[in-house]
């Protein structure tokens, strides 16, 4: 099967923050699977989650996650439901003892939600926050005590467009919400003890959440945990209940695409796209960036117009040219260009051309 980076549908370039652009090849293959999955005479929507077909999909997807991220047997790979938001609660349910304290780095909307859930189970310590500055940068100075049950970070802040470029080093277990930057760059993924990511940005459609957990950090809390919310249930019995078969199948197709391109190439493309866009934001006198340059995200670029009156005009202008999903988060405003792995370089180049054309007509 030919692998291609092209993801454009016939008419639109999709800058949505998630659900988001998927590799075109994965979408086409998924569409074929809906009609007749690998000549079984069944749709992938109809196959049993206990069938040998689904077992093969599931096992290949789990193996590819480990292979691509370079992780060993000490990790378990789970495809769960409930979104990344469910992980805000599952993480402390499983890892934070009643009398323990978990450290949270507060870098935006999603960290705040994670902290709120953790407070149901134990104490939290916000080790640093950039809240007063509208989360436009990543705080870098903080103290970590070995008594903390874990440190929780959000590696990429989808809303404000910041990203952690230097990971903390600590002996405390690190839990990372990588919903919006997993598989986007080379990293030492073994420095994390638990990684979670809603699939709907860099991995597949909405409906499943990837959880990668180091098995030896589990079983340290005393409380009773309901089966569905207990990681150990899903490790012991990976298909514990009916999983979202189609979502996992599409994740597998995307994982095959990621493997065929290689994370190194994917990262190079992501750097190229984000550099191109940030250079234009900085050069163009009509626009300005929102996040501090040193913490800018490779995945979500946030920016705005210098003249407020230009904001709706620019949005209308790009939408007429087929660029969708650029409106900033509802509480944050401005624009947000989400450039996940499957966004082709040409998609970002088109947006840059449009910014230049807007400058010529409105500058």
Ligand X SMILES: Cc1ncc(COP(=O)(O)O)c(C=O)c1O
Nearer to ligand X, 18 or 173 (CB): 18
Question: Token pair of 360, please?
Answer: 């010529």
Nearer to ligand X, 33 or 243 (CB): 243
The least CB distance from residue 199 to ligand X, in Å, is: 8
Print the binding letters for residues 109-148 with ligand X: x by CB under 6 A, - otherwise.
Answer: -x--------------------------------------
Q: Is 18 in the site for ligand X (CB under 6 A)?
A: yes
Strands (E) located in the chain = 13-14, 75-80, 101-106, 123-129, 151-154, 156-157, 162-163, 174-177, 194-198, 209-214, 287-289, 300-305, 323-324, 335-338
Print the binding letters for residues 77-96 with ligand X: x by CB under 6 A, - otherwise.
Answer: ------xxx-----------
**Angstrom distances, CA of residue 76 to CA of 24, 33, 218, 232, 298:** 29, 27, 11, 10, 28
Q: Is 177 in the site for ligand X (CB under 6 A)?
A: yes
Nearer to ligand X, 5 or 129 (CB): 129
Whether residue 288 lies in the annotated active site: no
Q: Of the residues 106, 193, 201, 214, which is catalytic?
A: 201
The least CB distance from residue 137 to ligand X, in Å, is: 16
- Please, which residues have CB within 8 angstroms of residue 52's CB and are 6 or more apart in sequence? none
Tallying the residues shown for the chain, one arrives at: 363
CA proximity to 335, closest of 325, 323, 345, 344: 325
Q: Is 198 in the site for ligand X (CB under 6 A)?
A: yes
Nearer to ligand X, 173 or 207 (CB): 207
Nearer to ligand X, 77 or 178 (CB): 178
CA proximity to 17, closest of 230, 293, 336: 336
Whether residue 177 lies in the annotated active site: yes
> Max alpha carbon distance in the chain (Å)?
65
Number of H helices, E strands in the chain: 9, 14
Which residue in 5, 14, 136, 158 binds ligand X (CB under 6 A)?
158
Strands (E) located in 165-248 = 174-177, 194-198, 209-214
Burial 195-228 (b: 16+ CB within 10 A, else e): bbbbbbbbbbbebbbbbbbbeebbeebeeeeeee
What is the distance between the alpha carbons of residues 103 and 47, in angstroms, rounded to a whole number? 43
Interaction with ligand X in 245-284: which residues (CB under 6 A)? none
The least CB distance from residue 301 to ligand X, in Å, is: 15
Print the binding letters for residues 22-61 with ligand X: x by CB under 6 A, - otherwise.
Answer: ----------------------------------------
Nearer to ligand X, 58 or 110 (CB): 110
Q: If residue 275 lies in a helix (H) or strand (E), which one and from where to where?
A: helix 263-283
Whether residue 39 lies in the annotated active site: no
Residue indicated by tokens 């926050």: 129
Q: Of the residues 106, 110, 181, 257, which is catalytic?
A: 110
Print the binding letters for residues 203-242 with ligand X: x by CB under 6 A, - otherwise.
Answer: ----------------------------------------
The least CB distance from residue 17 to ligand X, in Å, is: 6
The least CB distance from residue 83 to ligand X, in Å, is: 3
Active site residues: 110, 177, 201
What is the binding site for ligand X (CB under 6 A)? 18, 83-85, 110, 154, 158, 177, 179-180, 198
């Amino acid at each position: 099967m030919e692998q291609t980076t092209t993801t454009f549908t016939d008419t639109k370039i999709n800058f949505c923050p998630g659900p988001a652009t998927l590799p075109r090849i994965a979408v086409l293959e998924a569409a074929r699977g809906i009609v007749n999955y690998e000549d079984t005479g069944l749709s992938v929507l109809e196959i049993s989650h206990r069938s040998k077909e689904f077992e093969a999909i599931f096992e290949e997807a789990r193996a590819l996650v480990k292979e691509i991220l370079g992780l060993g047997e000490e990790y378990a790979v789970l495809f769960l439901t409930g979104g990344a938001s469910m992980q805000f609660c599952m993480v402390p349910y499983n890892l934070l003892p009643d009398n323990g304290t978990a450290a949270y780095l507060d870098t935006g909307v999603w960290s705040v939600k994670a902290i709120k859930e953790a407070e149901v189970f134990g104490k939290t310590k916000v080790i640093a926050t950039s809240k007063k500055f509208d989360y436009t940068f990543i705080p870098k100075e903080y103290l970590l005590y070995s008594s903390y049950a874990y440190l929780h970070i959000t590696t990429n802040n989808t809303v404000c467009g910041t990203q952690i470029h230097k990971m903390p080093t600590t002996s405390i277990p690190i839990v990372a919400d990588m919903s919006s930057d997993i598989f986007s760059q080379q990293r030492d993924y073994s420095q994390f003890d638990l990684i979670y990511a809603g699939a709907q940005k860099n991995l597949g459609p909405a409906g499943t959440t990837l959880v990668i957990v180091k098995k030896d950090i589990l079983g340290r809390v005393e409380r009773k945990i309901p089966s569905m919310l207990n990681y150990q249930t899903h490790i012991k019995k990976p298909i514990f209940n009916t999983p979202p078969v189609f979502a996992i199948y599409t994740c597998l197709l995307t994982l095959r695409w990621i493997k065929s391109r290689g994370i190194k190439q994917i990262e190079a493309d992501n750097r190229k796209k984000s550099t191109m866009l940030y250079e234009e934001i900085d050069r163009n006198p009509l626009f300005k960036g929102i996040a501090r340059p040193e913490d800018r995200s490779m995945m979500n670029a946030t920016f705005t117009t210098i003249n407020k009156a230009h904001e709706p005009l620019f949005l209308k202008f790009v939408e007429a040219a087929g660029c969708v999903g650029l409106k900033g988060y509802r509480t944050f405003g401005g624009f947000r260009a989400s450039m996940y792995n499957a966004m082709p370089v040409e998609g970002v180049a088109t947006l840059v051309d449009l910014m230049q054309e807007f400058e010529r007509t409105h500058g």
